Amino acid sequence: MKRLVIAVTLIWCSLGSMIAGATDPDPQKQQQLLKKIEELEQQISELRSLQLKKQTLPVKKEQCMKVVGVESYCTCVSEALPATVDYRQFVQILLTPAAEFGYDKLTVEQKKDVDQALVAWARCVDYKGPQGSGAMDRLMNRETLF
């Protein structure tokens, strides 16, 4: 992972120096180089995000195991949660009503994390409510889910 980040960084730096030292004023070539730099910056950002997620997985799983103790569920949740949301925050998101949580006042990135946490819950939970009563529909439409 570190080698890949270093390689991408070196390529990014060399492309940057090519633009800075370019004697060819061809705007098309410069535009292509700028596009490549933007793509590399995006890849670096994705790698950093992936690395952060890998670092937080054991902590999230440990928190979940302390509370729930179901390994399959905890593995699923810890892998599905965004890197910035730990298990404690996940539980708070699930249990706090939308108005009290202040969802409307969150930034776009924070809303994305909350939404991903709710998707993680829906994907990982094995809800066993009363059959034929539409319990899952009522659960998914409750006010604590955004």
Q: What is the pLDDT of residues 1-16, one digit of tens each?
A: 556 556 556 665 665 5
Give residue 57's pLDDT band: very low, low, confident or very high (50, 70, 90).
Answer: confident
The answer to whether residue 8 sits within a structural domain is yes
Q: What is the largest CA-CA distance in the chain?
A: 73
User: How far is it, in rounded angstroms, from Cα 108 to Cα 30?
Assistant: 32
| CB 24 within 8 Å of CB 31 | no
Q: What is the pTM of this model?
A: 0.55
Q: What is the mean pLDDT of the chain?
A: 76
**Residue 127 structural domain:** 2-140
The answer to whether residue 40 sits within a structural domain is yes
The DSSP result for 56-100, as a single string, is: HHHHHHHHHHHHT--HHHHHHHHHHS-TT--HHHHHHHHHS-HHH
The answer to whether residue 146 sits within a structural domain is no
Q: 24 versus 85: which is more confidently predicted?
A: 85
